[in-house]
């Protein structure tokens, strides 16, 4: 069907709107945490892969960090193990660690690599073990003390790690070629111990180390919402702190927002919490004036 003059004008406007963003982000690194619905729905998966390939083709350096919590949960269930989370972190015993590594470093990582390749990108799958990318140490969780003068209790959640350092050289090498790094959030300790790390943490730390222009965290909600459930499109560090203090931001959004804050306080220009349920959410965020979701900047 031929385009009407109106729809042709609309398309042309949208395409030209992308031009300043293409110019501004030339050669810049954009770290994207990919997870949730966007990783299971076929249409959303295709849209994500095409967005990442387009970013690379116009000269940006997208770096994908992926999650896979639900996929890990499914495999654990098959072998008769229940998932348990404390403060948003999966309790990870030896056997669970093997499943996590198999699912994140194997199945999920290679599925995303394949998806991007099918859409014309040259994706390379890595875990934090490759090229010494992610050094980790055991995460120590503290339970809040019941009485003010008692020392807080330490909770052992097994092989869960926090990032101690990142060696960005391998990712930088891939970026200067025409490759797209796809990273599984697994780290390795001084002693060679494998650690399970929350994907939002890895994305945030990687964005800082790579001096990224943007950190984008895809999630299953429209962004950060206020007390009435209305989307907050832009937030400063102070506003975020106030929303945490009054309990508006809680649960799974809390660590996400904290890693986003950490990133923008440490040199990343902007962090975005965006809705992975929207087709082409990444494209809309990077290339349009309106953007989508919540923008956090210093």
Ligand X SMILES: Nc1ncnc2c1ncn2[C@@H]1O[C@H](COP(=O)(O)OP(=O)(O)O)[C@@H](O)[C@H]1O
Ligand Y SMILES: CC(=O)N[C@@H](CCC(=O)OP(=O)(O)O)C(=O)O
- Residues contributing to the site for ligand X (CB under 6 A): 35-36, 219-221, 224-225, 248-253, 256
Q: How far is the CB of 1 from ligand Y (least distance, A)?
A: 40
CA–CA separation, 139 and 196 (whole Å): 10
- Confirm or deny that 69 is annotated as ligand binding: yes
Q: Is 128 in the site for ligand Y (CB under 6 A)?
A: no
Q: How far is the CB of 157 from ligand Y (least distance, A)?
A: 8
Q: Is 196 in the site for ligand Y (CB under 6 A)?
A: yes
- Output 40 or 102, the one with its CB closest to ligand X: 40
Q: Is 257 in the site for ligand Y (CB under 6 A)?
A: no
Interaction mask 3-42, ligand Y, x per CB under 6 A: --------------------------------x-------
Rg (CA), the chain: 20
Per CB under 6 A, the segment of 4-12, 15-23, 190-198, 226-234 that binds ligand Y is 190-198
- The CA distances from residue 217 to 12, 160, 260, in Å, are 29, 21, 8
- Confirm or deny that 68 is annotated as ligand binding: yes
Q: Is 89 in the site for ligand Y (CB under 6 A)?
A: yes
- Confirm or deny that 204 is annotated as ligand binding: no
Q: Is 160 in the site for ligand Y (CB under 6 A)?
A: yes
Query: What residues are designated binding site for substrate?
Result: 68-69, 90, 196
């Amino acid at each position: 069907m031929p385009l009407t003059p109106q729809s042709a004008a609309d398309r042309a406007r949208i395409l030209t709107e992308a031009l300043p963003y293409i110019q501004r982000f030339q050669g810049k690194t954009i770290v994207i945490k990919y997870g949730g619905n966007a990783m299971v729905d076929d249409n959303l998966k295709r849209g994500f892969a095409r967005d990442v390939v387009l970013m690379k083709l116009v000269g940006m350096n997208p770096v994908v960090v992926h999650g896979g919590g639900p996929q890990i949960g499914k495999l654990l269930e098959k072998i008769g193990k229940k998932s348990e989370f404390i403060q948003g972190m999966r309790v990870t015993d030896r056997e669970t660690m093997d499943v996590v590594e198999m699912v994140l470093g194997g199945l999920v990582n290679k599925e995303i690599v394949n998806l991007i390749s099918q859409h014309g990108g040259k994706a390379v799958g890595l875990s934090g073990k490759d090229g010494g990318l992610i050094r980790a140490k055991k995460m120590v969780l503290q339970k809040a003390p019941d009485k003010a003068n008692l020392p807080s209790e330490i909770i052992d959640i097994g092989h869960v790690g926090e990032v101690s350092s990142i060696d960005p050289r391998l990712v930088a090498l891939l970026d200067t070629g025409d490759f797209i790094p796809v990273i599984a959030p697994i780290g390795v300790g001084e002693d060679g111990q494998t650690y399970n790390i929350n994907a939002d943490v890895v994305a945030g730390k990687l964005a800082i180390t790579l001096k990224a222009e943007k950190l984008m965290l895809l999630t299953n909600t429209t962004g950060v919402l206020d007390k009435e459930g209305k989307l907050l499109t832009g937030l400063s560090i102070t506003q975020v702190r106030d929303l945490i203090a009054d309990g508006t931001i809680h649960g799974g959004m809390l660590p996400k927002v904290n890693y986003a804050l950490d990133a923008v306080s440490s040199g990343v220009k902007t962090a975005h919490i965006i809705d992975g349920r929207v087709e082409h959410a990444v494209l809309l965020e990077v290339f349009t004036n309106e953007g989508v979701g919540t923008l956090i900047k210093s």
